[in-house]
Structure 1
Amino acid sequence: MGSSVHDWLRKIRVGYVPRVTTPLLEGAARGVLEQFVKKGHVVLSAPHGEVDVLLTTAVYGETINWRDALFFNAKRSLGLQTQPTVFTLLHIRPSQLNDLLAHLGRVLNKETADPADYPFAGLSPRAFTTLHEQGRRGGPLLAALRLFQCQTMCVRLMVLVGEDYPLEAYTCDLVGAHPRTVAGQLEAFYEDLMLRIVTAVSTREITAHERVTPDIPQVVWKALSTPAAMQVAGLEFGKRQFFTDMVVVSNLVAVPMLNHAISRQYSEGCFATWEPRLEALITTITGSARPVNKGRLTEDELAVITGVRPDGLGARVRHVEGKRNDPPSSEAVELVEMDAPLPRITLSWGAGAGALVPVARSKLHGHRGVRSFDPQRVEHVYLPAPYYRYPVSCSTEAQARAICEAFSHSQALQNPGDPRQIVFTILPGHGVVIVEKWVEGKAPFQVIWEAMDDGSLMIDSRVPQGRLSYRLDGAGRMILEEE
């Protein structure tokens, strides 16, 4: 599987602290750890010092108290120098999973969540609303995975389905990714799980944004049309239900120290558009610190990005006088960095006439998929191949790199005269990134929402979890096919 593996993976230190055991878990842990050793990683007989990954175990149906969860206390309880990334191997039997998915499939048919339909242990009183919303968007399996995360008190799970031997596994993360690995040949199965773990910890977050001066005077900010256009775009996408509900973690579990281990909530997406007068992107702020309703944006929920830090660890941000100035979305770096390999054009119309601007005017990201599109108006671009086999999470250096490379190969963007006005790519397990070009007479994002309305771009609530392609049908449309 060489060509499907990332070339930036690093060697890591792994510890194993089982909490419970079954024949399946014993075999799986041994198989995965053997693959770590085989590929040159360090497997510690007892976790000590600096540990990158800690494996632990759980079985479906048992709830773990947060005080006992390694996700919260591994560093302190094991005397480690760093807090490792914890992966829980969760054993669920096929009959248990089938019964759970059948139950969730029935209750998710209801438009309104009923707490009586979610009688699961280990949840907060409000958890049923989030489980219902997640299941309505992503299907019974996504709702089940959120339940597993709550009961195990762990974000990263490898859900192993089988009796004494695994039949399949689902690898889960915070944003709801759940790619499936089939246990055909067991050594290849365990190698795949090992590579998913190494992929997750080999990249770094790039959210250390830095403030640059001078601040933008309030009189300049008020004279811009872009902030109001961003608010209008939020309303328009809200009408079309593009943005999913923000997941508030405290609605799922009641954990006093939760905010020290994970953001209180995570965002449902972001969007940004270029402002010629500032020579910068106006973008939505991060949702990790405070709730942000993209459909009801205020000016305090906008940020200004001028570029990327020289070390790549975050974006360069200008503050606006008299505004709250929260940090931009976690995707800030990729939103601005994708312009670097693309051409710039000279605007011939509007308030920015004469300005040299990126060929990509506006960018939209959401936890959605694309079911089909009109190839006469829309172009799809692929990520590098390894990202379909081994997806990465949001706000990471790896995801920013993948997005930049994908859009750098866009024929519609590299050739500004190409009649296709919209380009998109799919991030497996995560969502879609959509870009629009400058079109005279159109407001920011108008090209995108009109394409949604006329069917040129058909948005789907389900996000592909792995390899995908689009095939041309008899009507001249490109139709999604998942592999």
Structure 2
Amino acid sequence: MEQYRTDAFIARPLHSWLYPLKVAYVPGPAHPLLERVVRGLLERFRQRGHYVLEEPAPDTEVLLTTARFEEPLSWRQALLFTARRRFRLQRTPTLFTLVHILPDAFQRAMERLRRALARPAPEPADFHFAGLAPQACQVLYEQGKRAGPILALERVVQAQAKSIRSVLVVGDEEVEEAYVFDLAGAHPRLSGAGFSAFCDELALRMATYACTHEVTEHQTIGEPIPREIWDELRTPAAMARAARELGRRSFFTDMVRISDLVEVPYIEDAVARQYSEGCFATWEPALNALITTITGSARPINKDEITENDLAVIVGLRPDGRGALVREVAGKENSPPSSEAVELLLMDRDLPRIRLGSEWGDWEEVPVARSKLHGHRGVAAFDPAVVEFVPLDEAYYYFPVSCATQAQAEGIRRAFARSEALRRPEDPRQVVFTILPGHGAVIVEKWAAGKAPFQLIWEYIDDGRLVIESRIPQGPFRFVPGADGRMYISAEQF
């Protein structure tokens, strides 16, 4: 693979796995500022060693296009649905849509949403935007309550542009700022000060997204687990209890259903019908396997109230790393595991296994991390006496990656491999976490006698040793000591 150039413009750490991409631009609704930004982006792609094509070729990996706020595209025009057939592409490329909005229009939209979110319940008229489904008000209200008016506006922009990866460019003759949107709800702000640096950072963010690949090609192996063995396990009931306990603490946000935002036929051909808000898993010694929630992309699932049909059994990882190895269970519905299945199991690779005491039964060694919780929530504070924070590699704070990708799984693995609490099982800290900028938190608990799976986590939440919040940092952050002995998050962007 050719060398990727890292010697210009942005003096920030880059991911080592970036590689040259084939990039093409397909003009959409125009504005002079968007045209200037596109020219700047294409120039930065060239200078970074990418291949900028005159028109899409069969092996194109990235498509750029444009749109304007409040001018919704028909799905028949949207490249998300038409690019592969229209340009006879070998695969679906990563699409980025630059959406223009004037500064005054941006401020009006934000203020309108801010007032709407201040109401005790959604008022449909407050959330009427061109091109959105009549029932979109509930989704916009819930998303706005989660992260403020910018997240509600993000969903409006994505629905109108028919593009998940949208960049809202605010400005008239010059770029004032831009917001980079994705499926999970990330919305980092890029300053327009210094046009060359702005274009370089945006190009690097796009390349980071496009150079990753999903690890959701899960494979079923072996004979189904006999029903009588499954019925003897305590873990399925413990997972259902954990769902209720976490639900009572409002850990999981509501699922986003695409059809509630915009009416598009055949949506599943381009993107999942719905987007689930997190997953969780715990180790089952009797199966020597991880029992996890299923993917919400397969069918709607309420993570607050699950049944055995919402669980899957992961017994390993594919040799090529592109997904998990799964065993089905006889006599129940079997759906694919969570899209984060690989990261949940991969993090054990560099961590010790331990032998449990006699109170657990006569089992072989188990992973030191008992239960794992991935949610689109942030952590406001924690007690360092019993909770450990582990950082990601620095590049992830400036150039975040997509969910369900190999890059995210590797980033999480490397973060938890640094954990002193997990590497030394005798360490008194029982809970360990990291935060993925623009995405959410991954929280792990160790084995504790007399505790159900996830009980340590929800008890720590209850007594303030782990403070969960809806805000998620959109870039670099740090934890600073508070007067009460806890560590508090500090970030420039939430």
What do you get for the CA RMSD once the two structures are aligned? Answer: 1.1
Structure 2 CA distance, aligned partners of 1:82 and 1:220? 42
* Alignment correspondent of 1:233: 242
CA distance in 2, matches of 1:61, 1:226: 49
- Tell me the alpha carbon deviations over residues 1-32 of structure 1, each in whole angstroms, 9 at most, x when there is no partner: 45521110111111111112222111100000
Q: By how many angstroms is 1:81 displaced?
A: 3.4
Partner of 1:320: 329
Give runs of aligned pairs for residues 395-406 of structure 1, distance below 5 A. 395-406=404-415
Whether the 8 Å contact between 1:276 and 1:352 is mirrored in structure 2 is: no
Asked if 1:482 corresponds to 2:491, the answer is yes
3-state DSSP of counterpart to 1:4: coil
Answer yes or no: is 1:30 the counterpart of 2:39.
Answer: yes
Give the Cα–Cα distance (whole angstroms) in 2 for the partners of residues 290 and 80 of structure 1: 29
Contact 1:27 1:165 in 2 (8 A): no
Q: Secondary structure at the match of 1:123?
A: coil
- After the TM superposition, which residues 98-177 of structure 1 pair with which residues of structure 2 at under 5 Å, given as runs? 98-177=107-186
Aligned equivalents of 2:363 and 2:321: distance in 1? 30
1:383 aligns with 2:388: no
One-letter amino acid matched to 1:126: Q
Deviations 1:196-228 (A, max 9, x none): 111111011001111121321110000010110
For residues 329-372 of structure 1, what are the alpha-carbon distances to aligned partners after superposition, in whole Å with 9 as ceiling and x for unaligned?
00000101101100111100434344311110000011000000
The 3-state SS of whatever aligns with 1:317 is strand
Distance 2:72 2:12 in 1: 40
Cα distance in structure 1, aligned partners of 2:413 and 2:91: 31
Contact 2:285 2:363 (C-alpha < 8 Å) held by counterparts:
no
Distance (whole Å) between structure 2 residues aligned to residue 44 and residue 340 of structure 1 = 41
Q: Match for 1:157: what amino acid? A: S
| Aligned residue type for 2:474 | Q
Q: 1:184, CA displacement in angstroms?
A: 2.0
Q: Quick one: distance in 1 between partners of 2:462 and 2:208?
A: 38
Structure 1 window deviating more from structure 2 (464-473 vs 349-358): it is 349-358
Q: Deviations over 1:110-149 (max 9, x none)?
A: 2321111112110111111101100011110000010000
Instruction: Give the C-alpha shift of residue 394 in structure 1.
Output: 0.8
Q: In the TM superposition, what whole-angstrom CA distance separates every residue of 1:47-97 from its partner, at most 9, and x where no partner exists?
A: 222111111111112111111111110122233333222111111111111
Q: Which amino acid aligns with 2:84?
A: K
> Counterpart in 1 of 2:477?
468
Separation in 2 of the partners of 1:83 and 1:261?
A: 9
Q: Does 1:95 align with 2:104?
A: yes
Which residue of 2 is the match for residue 60 of structure 1? 69
Which amino acid counterpart does residue 151 of structure 1 have in structure 2?
Q
- 1:56 is paired with a residue whose SS is strand
2:160 partner letter: Q
3-state DSSP of counterpart to 2:304: helix
After superposition, what is the alpha-carbon deviation per residue over 1:147-186, rounded to whole angstroms, capped at 9, x for unaligned? 0001111111111111111111111111111111112221
Q: Match of 2:442?
A: 433
What is the percentage of aligned positions where both structures have the same residue?
Answer: 54
Answering whether residue 20 of structure 2 is matched by residue 4 of structure 1, we say: no
2:4: which partner in 1? none
Q: Is the 8 A contact 1:23 1:165 kept in 2?
A: no
Any idea what SS the aligned residue of 1:110 has?
coil
Query: Do residues 421 (structure 1) and 442 (structure 2) align?
Result: no
| 8 Å Cα contact 1:363/1:435 also seen in 2 | yes
The residue type equivalent to 1:192 in the other structure is E
What residue in structure 1 maps to residue 218 of structure 2?
Answer: 209
Provide the secondary structure at the position in 2 that maps to 1:89: strand
Write the distance in 2 (CA, Å) between the matches of 1:3 and 1:16: 27
- 1:177-256 equivalence runs, <5 A: 177-256=186-265
Closer, same or farther in 2 for the Cα pair 1:481/1:111, shift >3 Å? same
SS, match of residue 66 in structure 1: coil
1:289 is the counterpart of 2:292: no
- Find the partner of 1:358 among 367, 374, 377: 367
- Paired residue secondary structure (1:215): coil
- Once residues 453 and 345 of structure 1 are traced to their aligned partners in structure 2, the CA distance between those partners, rounded to angstroms, is 28
Q: Are 2:356 and 1:347 equivalent residues in the alignment?
A: yes
Mean CA deviation greater in 221-230 or 37-46:
37-46
Give the stretch that moved more between structures: 11-20 or 230-239: 11-20
Relative to the length of structure 1, the TM-score reads 0.98
For residue 323 of structure 1, report the CA deviation from its aligned partner. Answer: 1.3
Partners of 1:211 and 1:55 in 2: CA distance: 37
What letter is aligned with 1:249? Answer: I
Aligned to 1:14: 23
> Are the equivalent residues in 1 in contact too, given 2:14–2:395 (CA < 8 A)?
yes
Q: What code does the residue aligned with 1:56 have?
A: T
CA distance in 2, matches of 1:157, 1:384: 26
Return the letter of the residue paired with 2:81: F
Helix, strand or coil at the partner of 2:138? helix
* Inter-partner Cα distance in structure 2 for 1:444 and 1:19: 51
Within a 5 Å distance, the mapping from 1:272-283 to structure 2 comes to 272-283=281-292
Report the count of equivalent residues: 483
Deviation by residue 1:392-447 (Cα, 9 ceiling, x = unmatched): 11110000000000000001000100000000000111110000000111111000
Asked if the contact 2:12–2:398 (Cα under 8 Å) also holds between the matched residues in 1, the reply is no
Q: In structure 1, what is the equivalent of residue 6 of structure 2?
A: none
The letter of the residue matching 1:332 is: A
Distance between the aligned counterparts of 1:154 and 1:129, measured in 2?
20
Preserved CA contact (<8 Å) 2:58 2:87: no
Match of 1:394 in 2: 403
CA change 1:354–1:71 in 2 (3 A) is closer
Given that residues 177 and 192 in structure 2 are in contact (C-alpha distance below 8 angstroms), is that contact kept between their aligned partners in structure 1? yes
Query: Residue 234 of structure 1 contacts residue 295 of structure 1 at CA under 8 Å; is this kept in 2?
Result: yes
State how far apart, in whole Å, the 2-side matches of 1:422 and 1:121 are.
Answer: 46
String of CA shifts for 1:239-275, please: whole Å, max 9, x gaps: 0010000000111111112111110101111000001
Contact 1:346-1:353 within 8 A present in 2 as well: no
Q: Which runs of 5 or more residues in structure 2 are unaligned? A: 1-9
